[in-house]
Amino acid sequence: MEKTENGTNKSISFSLLEIKKTRFYQSNYLDFGLSKEDVLKGNLKIDVNFELSPNEETISLFLKLDFCHTDHELFGIETVHKYKIKDFKNAIQYDENITFNVPDEIMKLWIGIAISDTRGMMVILNSDSDYSRITLPLINLDAFLRSIKKSMKMEQSSE
């Protein structure tokens, strides 16, 4: 929901058009001298990018998850999640540089959907490996969204 000028809520209606795996990899942890127990102590790196397509009335979210142990990338996936926005021109504020503004609650919803979908793909793709024992951590979407905004501001100020 987004507040309008008169203080009422404006909703954004959307549908999920596409979920696609664009890349998946698995490295053998033994090649790095790691044990099964070491692998369970790894951590998750997340990266997200967005692409606005006003002509198609869509926004695409590109999600990259890498599970690592120290400096070693053990497995990872990249996915694309494409959303069709109803009444795009009124729902999404954007400028000629395709810089856009979406309410935080909607952005967290889209990111949450993408992470959940990608998490499901990871379960299927890792089902026959030792990596199937790894439980990917929960992600605090408020903190994640703050870090995305901070990163975007830093990128804009360095240009």
Look at residue 99 and tell me if it is in a domain. yes
For range 76-91, the mean pLDDT? 93
Question: Measured between alpha carbons, how far is 38 from 22 in angstroms, rounded to an integer?
Answer: 28
Compute how many other C-beta atoms are within 10 angstroms of the C-beta atom of residue 145. 16
Report percent pLDDT > 90 for the chain: 60
Q: Which amino acid makes up residue 17?
A: L
Look at residue 121 and tell me if it is in a domain. yes
Look at residue 7 and tell me if it is in a domain. no
- What is the span of the domain harbouring residue 117? 15-158
For range 62-76, the mean pLDDT? 95
Of 30 and 135, more confident: 30
Q: What is the pLDDT of residue 155?
A: 56
Look at residue 72 and tell me if it is in a domain. yes
Q: What is the pLDDT of residue 114?
A: 95
Q: What is the CATH number of the domain that holds 98?
A: 3.10.420
For range 19-31, the mean pLDDT? 96
Q: Report which of 1, 6, 111 is spatially closest to residue 50, judged by C-alpha positions.
A: 111
Question: Measured between alpha carbons, how far is 118 from 110 in angstroms, rounded to an integer?
Answer: 12
Q: What is the pLDDT of residue 156?
A: 53
Question: Measured between alpha carbons, how far is 134 from 131 in angstroms, rounded to an integer?
Answer: 6
